Amino acid sequence: MQQKPYPSLNATKHSLLIIVRATLSQGKNPHSKVSVNKCRDLLKEKHGIEVGRRWTFQCFSDLITQGLLIRHPRYNYKRPGSPGQYSSMLAFTPKGFEWLVSQNVDVGSI
C-alpha cells in the first residue's frame, strides 16, 4: 500500500491552513499571530464552519503533529523577575508549503 504524499484533512483543518496563510505577517517575518477566537470568527465568516475553541486547538495540534505548521513561543522580558508569555506565532514548515501548492493556494513571496 502506498502512503499518501500529503495527509488527508477535514474541512476545518483545511480552512485553518488557509486562514493562517491569509494572516501571515506581511514583510519580514513569515509568522501568523492570529488568535484562536479570530480563527473561529474567520472560519464562520469566510468558510461557514462553526466550531468551538477546544476543537480549534485540537485541529492546530493535529496540523503541528502532521508537520504542516510549527509554533514559535514569544516571551515578555520587560518585567524584572519572571518572564510573561504571549500567544505563540504559527509558521508553515516546508511540508506545509508543499501542501498549499498541491492545493493550488497562492503562496506568493512567503
Is residue 2 very low, low, confident or very high in pLDDT (cuts 50, 70, 90)? low
Which domain does 21 fall in, by range? 11-102
Flag whether 55 is in a domain: yes
Is residue 81 very low, low, confident or very high in pLDDT (cuts 50, 70, 90)? low
Flag whether 3 is in a domain: no
Phi, psi of 80 (to 5 degrees): -65, 145
Flag whether 109 is in a domain: no
Average pLDDT, the chain: 82
Instruction: Name the percent of the chain lying above pLDDT 70.
Output: 76
Residues 64 and 70: beta-carbon distance below 8 Å:
yes
Q: Which cell numbers in the block locate residue 2?
A: 502506498
The reported pTM is 0.79
Q: Is the pLDDT of residue 41 over 70?
A: yes
The domain that holds 56 is classified in CATH as 1.10.10.10
